Amino acid sequence: MSSEPPSAGPTLIKAAIDIGTNSMHLVVARLAEHGGFEILTSEKETVRLGQGGGEMKLLAPDAIERGLAALERMAQVATSFGDVDLVAVATSAVREAANRDDFLDRARQLTGIEIEVISGFEEARLIHLGVLQALPVFDQRLLLVDIGGGSTEFLVGQGADPIEARSMKLGAIRLTERFFSEAIADGRRPTAQEVDDCRHYVRAALALVGSELGGHQPEIAIGSSGTATTIAAMAAAERGDDVRQMNGVTFTAAELAAVVERVISAKDRSRVAGLDDKRADIILGGALLLDEVFAVF
């Protein structure tokens, strides 16, 4: 992978910016004649766009500033590759915010980018297509679980077409702010009651989606989010495996349960093997959610 701009020539370059609740992602790729593509660069920045917005009903002023700064920088990286077709999409935090137009208008003025706010179903559909590019699962009936900061997308699909999809207002940041904000502010471990309250809330929310999607009898479950890859890294680190490449890594329900216990009991989560410092404060909400997903499906 190269992060250097390509030499001048008749190339078709696409760039995509994904504006999520927790992080912002950039991918720049050159399309190939045979239909494939070459990744020129990819970047990720933790912006916490959905943090401090009161159940994500508003984008907080400091979150907007972080988001705009990251967007401007990523737009500059993308356009450094020359004539680039750039698309930007926003998901849960922007989708739900009453003041989303303020963010969208300022983003347009700052960068010239028209951000598309996509629905939960469209988010799930696009994630599914990305998974099919990354993993050899095209012929299998799969259950896709993407735990974001503000929402979780569930999709059952086989081949390129989704069979059924759901988007739920459950996410790592949303659950953290609802159940664990006091523990974080006090600098203490979460109490058993706080953990149980989070579990019960998630379990009740998942009851309907479990019955709807589980009936399709998926053959394989795939987690595609930062929460899933972080848990995979933590499980791999505990096994003594290499954590530098997480694509296609698997973990069991027992390993997930062990990860949850390590996070709950850790005095300093930043010292837990495999856990990214930038995700340490929100990993428990995401891990409990995924643990309950395992129980439902």
Give the global pTM. 0.88
**Token pair of 225 as six digits:** 């989010």
At 85 the pLDDT is 95
157 lies in the same domain as 178: yes
95 lies in the same domain as 110: yes
What is the CATH classification number for the domain harbouring 27? 3.30.420.40
158 lies in the same domain as 33: no
268 lies in the same domain as 125: yes
Q: Average model confidence (pLDDT) for the chain?
A: 92
Q: Are 144 and 162 in contact (CB under 8 A)?
A: no
Half-sphere exposure of 49 (CA within 13 A, CB side): 31
Question: Domain containing 209: what range?
Answer: 120-296
At 53 the pLDDT is 66
Quickly tell me which residue has 């998942």 as its tokens: 206
Quickly tell me which residue has 């698309």 as its tokens: 87
pLDDT digits (tens, 9 = 90+) for 170-215: 999 999 999 999 999 999 999 999 999 999 999 999 998 888 887 8
pLDDT digits (tens, 9 = 90+) for 227-255: 999 999 999 999 988 777 778 888 999 99
Residue 7 maps to a domain? no
**CA angle at residue 45 from 155 to 127, to 5 degrees?**
15
Query: Can you list the residues of the chain whose pLDDT is less than 50?
Result: 1-3, 6-10
Residue 30 maps to a domain? yes
285 lies in the same domain as 264: yes
Helix intervals (H) in 1-119:
61-79, 92-96, 100-111
Q: Which phi and psi angles does 222 have, rounded to 5°?
A: -130, 130
